[in-house]
Amino acid sequence: MLRRSALLALALLQAHPARAHGLHGGEGRVTVLPDRVVVTGEEALLDHLVLRDGSGRPLPPDGTLDRPLRWLVLQIDPGEAGGPAARLALEVTAPAGRRVVVLTTGGNVGLVRVEPGPAPRCGDLALSEEGLQEIRGRLESGRSPRLEVDLPLGILETFQPVARADPDVLTVAEQQAAVPAVRDLVRERLGLDRAEVRFIGPDGEEGTLGAWTARARVRLGLETDRVLRWDLFNARVLRARLAIVEGTRCREREVTPDRSEVDWTR
């Protein structure tokens, strides 16, 4: 399956091979070793690929590691965003396994778990390798029903900008300044009150965070009519993944603009 996916991703690039004078397309491999990250591939790839750790700190040019790496963040240099459209297909090998990551100058970010982690479970909001690309929620029923929503910073900024001095870092003061707007956005779009907002990193840590892996986690109280009307959509966000937890039972469903009402008693 991996080889087939890799061949498919690489085949998409054949019509736009890498050029020495600019970035149009390319392919390569990224290997995570205990003491360094090794990148091999075409010159355009080596010149324009940016690697960061989970806190948003760029890795040194030679890829050496001064501490264990839990997450690897991959991106085409944001400075290329105004240039020709480009795609890079990367086969990434780490102790947790191998996967293909396709990056574009559209600004997407690839996230790779370096060390093996627990298998994802229904209702678990722990960050996954796909977690930066979608809004996820956990709706828990009971005497005091509640909803938790995870908004990756990159998705949050498709609704509203989050001001920060360094595009790679989100400080505690900047998080605090952003909280009221995030709270109002979610309360208005979901029609719920009592929203609590905090920003967390890839492993749930708080404090100064890397902007590329930061998430806004919003906790809201649910009304008693048992129907949630989801409206966290825009031109770029057309779905969300919601887990409904009832005691020991858990079920997941996808919420879309044409399936936006969630009756959480069913």
Question: Which pairs with CB-CB distance under 8 Å and at least 24 residues apart come from 195-202?
Answer: 195/219, 195/220, 196/220, 199/153, 199/170, 199/175, 201/54, 201/55, 202/54, 202/70, 202/71, 202/111, 202/127
> What ranges in the chain are assigned the alpha helix state H?
2-11, 43-48, 153-156, 172-190
Q: What is the pLDDT of residue 60?
A: 92
Where do the domains of the chain lie?
2-113, 131-263
Q: What's this model's pTM, rounded to 2 decimal places?
A: 0.81
Q: What is the pLDDT of residue 259?
A: 94
* Radius of gyration of the chain from its Cα atoms, rounded to whole angstroms: 20
Q: What is the pLDDT of residue 10?
A: 34
**How do the pLDDT tens digits run along the chain, 266 residues long?**
433 333 333 333 333 333 333 445 678 999 999 999 999 987 766 678 899 998 888 999 899 999 889 999 998 886 655 566 678 899 999 999 999 999 887 778 899 999 888 877 888 888 877 778 899 999 988 778 889 999 999 999 999 999 999 988 999 999 999 999 999 999 999 988 789 999 999 889 999 999 989 999 999 988 756 788 999 999 999 999 999 998 888 999 999 999 999 886 66
Q: What is the pLDDT of residue 82?
A: 53
Cβ atoms of 113 and 132 closer than 8 Å: no
Bridge partners (DSSP) listed for residue 112: 72
Best CA proximity match to 149, nearest among 170, 134, 130: 134
